[in-house]
Amino acid sequence: MIELANLTAMEVDALTDSDGGLNLTDGHARLLLSPQQRQIVARLPEMFAEASRRPFPEIETEAHTAFLHAVGQRTAPIGTGRILSCYSSTLATDIVARALPAGATIAVLHPTFDNIADLFRTRGLHLVPLPEEALLARDWPAPPVRAIVVTHPNNPTGLVTPEEHLRSLAEHAARHGQIVIIDASFRGQVRDAQYDTYAVLDAAGAEWISIEDTGKLWPTHELKIGMLAYSERNTLPIERAFSESLLSASPVVLLLAKALAEDWISGGYERARAVVTRNRTTVEEAVTEAGLCLADPASQISVARVELPEGGPDSSELYEDLVRRGIHVLPCAPFHWADPRGGLRFIRLSLARPHATVEKAARTLAASYADLTARAIAPVA
């Protein structure tokens, strides 16, 4: 087993780099506010006043409605009490992990962001991988697997679970008494992922849990909401686990999320899409010049994996060299939480950054790879 720091630790290193290195690690939006978003943020004093005079349930319901409708989820259980507002999707995931029976076996998509697996392991659950290839082949795990965890779209590959595949999974889970858990943190970035997953899951008669996240969409400096939704068929003590973790999310942040969601359907999505698309093209052009390529050219989420040829420097070597050059990205071994060696030939850059930042990072990555390759084949004196 390869011993590596987890991905969040690397992201913290990037955030706290006192030398001012460029941070292309986390998938959060770290862009300048658009003119429309600046106008919304300028209304924060009004939102504080509104949060003081209005009942929390009204604000929460309005925010859930605005956000979930903006990302196509019109049959989500809004107003039923079965959507809980958390500070983040990570906290929501930990609540789910604590609600699952200790020692249960769960299948988790592979590869995917490592803190999903880490949180479940920490709570005493036994994990088995669900490879992306198995998902695409509709090869679903059977009992004793108690729950099946899918990231939709997946981070880092951008894979969107097709609607028919989710329907197949939900029907399989309903037959076998399993729970379908969906992490939809990147859903808002990809239209193809915005078919109504709640309608699919309910029609199949499945027990399900879904986690939504506003943090990947807007540059709000960690002012975000994670939404933990669960089915009417739920058998887990989710509300108890929630109450052990927090009282509520901030009504001010809920009002901010509502306003930004309204902007998202009024041109905000297209503006963000244009930034990410331009940056992905810039990365592709820069690495192609170094003989490299994008691993997931069809991906639409705000990250890009670069594939490294066999026999050359791997992503851990490239990561270390880039940090020395003042560029923070993520090596992909930790995403392959069940088999870190499977991620050694991939490195990931975040695209929700100013264009100049992405361009400099991509060109530095290409130069670093070329230099490492040249050193490896240089004759020994």
Domain boundaries, given as residue ranges, for the chain: 7-33+267-375, 35-262
Residue with tokens 């962001």: 113
- Is 71 within 8 Å of 212 (Cβ atoms)? yes
Q: What is the pLDDT of residue 1?
A: 41
Separation of alpha carbons 82 and 250, rounded Å: 18
Question: What superfamily in CATH does domain 7-33+267-375 come from?
Answer: Aspartate Aminotransferase, domain 1 (3.90.1150.10)
Residue with tokens 């965890």: 149
Nearest residue to 40 via CA among 271, 219, 289, 298: 219
pLDDT in tens, 268-327: 999 999 999 999 999 999 999 999 999 999 999 999 999 999 999 999 999 999 999 999
Residues of the chain with pLDDT under 50: 1-2
Q: What is the pLDDT of residue 5?
A: 82
Separation of alpha carbons 73 and 105, rounded Å: 29
- Is 254 within 8 Å of 85 (Cβ atoms)? yes
- Considering the entire predicted model, what is its pTM? 0.96
349 C-beta neighbours (distance < 10 Å), count: 26
pLDDT in tens, 6-44: 999 999 999 999 888 999 999 999 999 999 999 999 999
The CA-based diameter of the chain, rounded to the nearest angstrom, is 76
Q: What is the pLDDT of residue 338?
A: 97
DSSP 342: G
- What average pLDDT does the structure give for the chain? 96
Q: What is the pLDDT of residue 325?
A: 97
316 C-beta neighbours (distance < 10 Å), count: 17
DSSP 189: G
Pick the CATH number of 35-262 from 3.40.50.300, 3.40.640.10, 3.90.1150.10, 3.50.50.60: 3.40.640.10
